[in-house]
Amino acid sequence: MPTTQENWNPGKLEDRHPEVSYEEKERLFLEVKNDPRYEDFLYGCFECGICVSACPSARFYDYSPRVIAQAMAREDIVRVYDIISEDIWNCAQCFSCVRCPRQNNPGGLVTLLREVAVNNGLQETKDVLQGYSRVIYKVMLKGNQVSPDMLQPDFFPDWGPWVGQFSANMPVWRKAIPVDTLRGVTDAAWKTDRKTLLELYTIWFETGNMDIIKEIDEGLYDLLADVMQEELEEG
């Protein structure tokens, strides 16, 4: 354990995840730290706050790219676990934070943390990503983006309480908009041909994306894998 900061704050810190052992937290931390990109993403931190100032998410959530850079630099294992289990999903990955005078890349750290969170199938990660299973399904299986018809309250809780109201009255809202504008686009954004789809399926399997889905949402994986494998076999 010589590379870590144990008991950084033994007396005062409220450990939000006492159910997870210190060794497990340290293992995840080291997985992030040992990523070859890490040393280009984090030099040293002034704790100056320019990244927070530039961060859109920081305006709306209890989220601070500074705290992420700082906790990583200080090797504050316990804090990093809080971050990996929660904070990282408040980042929009817009990389406004790269204006750092030390040339740190807090958004890049979030990328690494997310990868570790997903690859390790953390429960909090599963919970956070559940709302997106519909998006993943659509993108990966249909080769298409989310269409207006998919705007249903249960699927996008993070879009706020208005989604329910909009969805309930969708036909009325559409009547208020000139018909031509919406012709043919409410259920799909474009048509994906079969050859493209089969290529996409191959890519999902070959690049390890399907393994990631399996780690995070096994039900979704089974659903996707069944269809994809069948289609691929048919050729």
Q: Which residues bind another protein (CB under 8 A)?
A: 2, 5, 7-13, 43-45, 47, 66-67, 70, 73-74, 79, 102
In the complex, least distance from residue 109 CB atom to another protein, rounded to whole angstroms: 15
* Cβ closest to another protein, residue 50 vs residue 150: 50
* Cβ closest to another protein, residue 51 vs residue 216: 51
* Cβ closest to another protein, residue 11 vs residue 219: 11
* Cβ closest to another protein, residue 90 vs residue 104: 104
| 3-state SS, one letter per residue, for the chain | CCCCCCCCCCCCCCCCCCCCCHHHHHHHHHHHHCCCCHHHHCCCCCCCCHHHHHCHHHHHCCCCHHHHHHHHHCCCHHHHHHHHHCHHHHCCCCCHHHHCCCCCCHHHHHHHHHHHHHHCCCHHHHHHHHCCHHHHHHHHHHCCCCCHHHCCCCCCHHHCCHHHHHHHCHHHHHHCCCHHHHCCCCCCCCCCCHHHHHHHHHHHHHCCHHHHHHHHCHHHHHHHHHHHHHHHHHC
